[in-house]
Amino acid sequence: MTTTMKTWSPEAFAAAVAAAVWAPSIHNSQPWRFRHTDDGVDVLLDEGRRLPVCDPDGRMARISCGAAAFNLRLALAATGAPAGYRIGTGPVVVHLTPGPPCPPTPMQRRLHWQIRRRHTNRGPFADSAVSAGGPVNLVEAARREGAWLDFVTDDAAVVALAELIRSADERLRADPAYTAELRAWTSGANHDIEGIGPHAAGPAPHPAELLTRRDFGGAGRETTRDLARRPEVAVLGVLGDAADDAVRTGMALQCVLLTAADLGLATAMFSQPIEVPACREKLRRSVGRIHDPQLVLRFGYAPTTCYTNRRPVADVMEP
């Protein structure tokens, strides 16, 4: 028997998509679309918004879509209508179907509340260690979504990781096509709806900083010092290197970022060493994993900085 009944009301679908779009995405490119189907919801990778230079294989776009799918799942769970899901390797990166109704758990409520509060922080982080329970909770959040999150605890290893980020950033910046693409999503972008405007870019990177931030065109600042002398950094990955593994990483990424926000932690992301294959391989060996690392994350305490914007919900929904 075929059914033509949609599974969620148009209003419930639109509300879930309105939460999904607040996911992080590479350069705030928002490479996603959402389709209400007869048996569920599709999250689609919008190829037209993939970054051809820094993301030739679509890894970063898939991580971004996975993060959006996690928000979608959370938004549906928060209404008592949790969804099951299947990850795909084609243009439909995630297909969600309704599961048995179930009241949201306290944790789901808290993480849902953080969707609009979480943001990437490119300002200086305070020089205070993350409280003892922090890393344990973040590792557990990644594990719940089938990922690993390895904190880099040894001082020498942090310095080595910082060196990898710096050398990857240098290699990327040496390519004029890369800098042109970066500028298109910063100074060239329509910041009301996409890309990273000067308000969210953070101060201009300075050579004295241990962790080399991507240069999104922010202005210089009076103090070039990053207050955190010993940053809390971790490497995120899953048990695989295929296209669907990047989507799975994105779900875990968003679970970790929302958990961090719930713990009062600021977060920042560094994907430069993942985008340069030789650096990614060095990073993989340094954390002793079989599969590719997918992202480097930083956690700490920092004042809230400016938020990026999103396209209207109607623009990302398939008719």
Ligand X SMILES: Cc1cc2nc3c(=O)[nH]c(=O)nc-3n(C[C@H](O)[C@H](O)[C@H](O)COP(=O)(O)O)c2cc1C
User: Which residues contact ligand X (rule: CB under 6 A)?
Assistant: 24-28, 60, 63-64, 67, 119-120, 122, 196, 213-214, 269-272, 295, 307-308
Min dist CB 275 to ligand X, Å, is 8
Other residues' Cβ atoms within 10 Å of the Cβ of residue 115: 22
Distance CA 40, CA 253 (A): 23
Output the six-digit token pair for 88: 């795909």
DSSP bridge partners of 266? 300
Residue nearest to ligand X (CB): 24
Cβ closest to ligand X, residue 7 vs residue 309: 309
Min dist CB 75 to ligand X, Å, is 16
Cβ closest to ligand X, residue 88 vs residue 217: 217
Cβ closest to ligand X, residue 12 vs residue 46: 46
Min dist CB 68 to ligand X, Å, is 9
Cβ closest to ligand X, residue 81 vs residue 162: 162
Distance CA 264, CA 277 (A): 33
Min dist CB 216 to ligand X, Å, is 7
Give every CB contact of residue 319 below 8 A, 6+ residues apart in sequence: none
Cβ closest to ligand X, residue 166 vs residue 214: 214
Cβ closest to ligand X, residue 6 vs residue 171: 171
Instruction: Report which of 103, 109, 43, 107 is spatially closest to residue 72, judged by C-alpha positions.
Output: 43
Using DSSP, state whether 120 is helix, strand or coil: strand
Min dist CB 309 to ligand X, Å, is 9
Output the six-digit token pair for 238: 């899953």
Exposure b/e, 272-292, CB count within 10 A at least 16 = b: bbbbbeebbebbbebbebeeb
Min dist CB 152 to ligand X, Å, is 17
